Amino acid sequence: MTAADEVLLRERFRITGSDFEHGGEVSARIKSILKEIGIPVEAIRRLSIANFEAEMNVVMYADEATLTLEVFSNAVRVEVADRGPGIPDVEKAMEPGFSTATEEMRARGFGAGLGLPNIERNTDEFVIESEVGTGTTLRYRVSWS
Amino acid sequence: MKLNDLSEKLDLKAQTRIFDREISGVYISDMVSDVIANAKAGNLLVTVQIHNNVIAAANLVDIAGIVVTQGKAPAEDVVKMAEKAEITLFTTEMNRWQMATQLYEAGIR
Ligand SMILES: Nc1ncnc2c1ncn2[C@@H]1O[C@H](COP(=O)(O)OP(=O)(O)O)[C@@H](O)[C@H]1O
Ligand SMILES: [Mg+2]
């Protein structure tokens, strides 16, 4: 194992579906952890965008999720594994503008269909695995030099 | 320009303390995914969309202040959340366009 592969920190967070009141709090906690460790500002910004979009998607579409944060010397990896309805067509869900958000969510400024594209744009690696009726897992990485 | 100078120049009502921060530009949007991806650190966000998830997003990308337009009143817990995040929250009767014009004239570009 090389130094770059070594996990410096691993922490898990719980995200609850439909809990709009606390939506964004896990992302905020992660941001302060990353800031404290001294991760570069631009990497924190990109991770915060991805984390927020992933967190809000769990709040809006899933039942619950576990977010696992792993910090390496030059990268952060995040996994967001939810229990929920899953995504029937991942390719379509990735298209900018595609959204199944309800009227209520749209009234709150969600449903632009830009969440998954935002994650893609702000990460160096992004994979979605989803099974209808079971749930969705996102894995992404942001690296720096 | 500092948030304080801005509130003196324009007809804005502060709902939180006015924190000692410099404004680096303006972003106008009501879509949360647009705000978090495109607003820059130090920006003043002009929006009618104000609830706790917006404060969370604003805090994540270090937005300096928020102007809530069209006379919309943010809920008490939202104001508290902004205060805690040290995001200055203003309200105004103006609409987004009027606000944008005044900000431009005040020298924030
Ligand atoms: N965790 C998830 N579980 C189930 N469906 C999801 C999940 N995340 C995203 N989706 C689906 O993918 C669509 C696009 O997501 P996204 O790009 O974040 O845009 P938005 O949230 O604005 O709709 C959502 O409308 C929803 O149908
Ligand atoms: Mg989304």
> Residue B87 and residue B80: Cα distance in Å, rounded?
10
Tens of pLDDT, residues A52-84: 999 999 999 999 999 999 999 999 999 999 999
Tens of pLDDT, residues A110-138: 999 999 999 999 999 999 999 999 999 99
Instruction: Give me the domain span that covers residue A73.
Output: 3-143
| Pocket lining for ligand 1, CB < 6 angstroms | A 53, 57-58, 60-62, 82, 84-85, 87, 93, 98-101, 110-117, 136; B 33
Nearest to B87 by CA among B56, B47, B53: B56
Residue nearest to atom 19 of ligand 1 (CA): A113
| Every domain of chain B and the residues it spans | 3-105
| Tally of structural domains, chain A | 1
What average pLDDT does the structure give for chain B? 97
Give the pLDDT band (50/70/90) at residue A42: very high
Tens of pLDDT, residues B68-102: 999 999 999 999 999 999 999 999 999 999 999 99
DSSP A1: -
Q: ipTM of the predicted structure? A: 0.97
CATH number of the CATH domain containing A123: 3.30.565.10
Question: Is CATH 3.40.1390.20 what the domain over B3-105 is classified as, yes or no?
Answer: yes
Query: Which of chain B's residues have a Cβ under 8 Å away from the Cβ of A112?
Result: 31-34
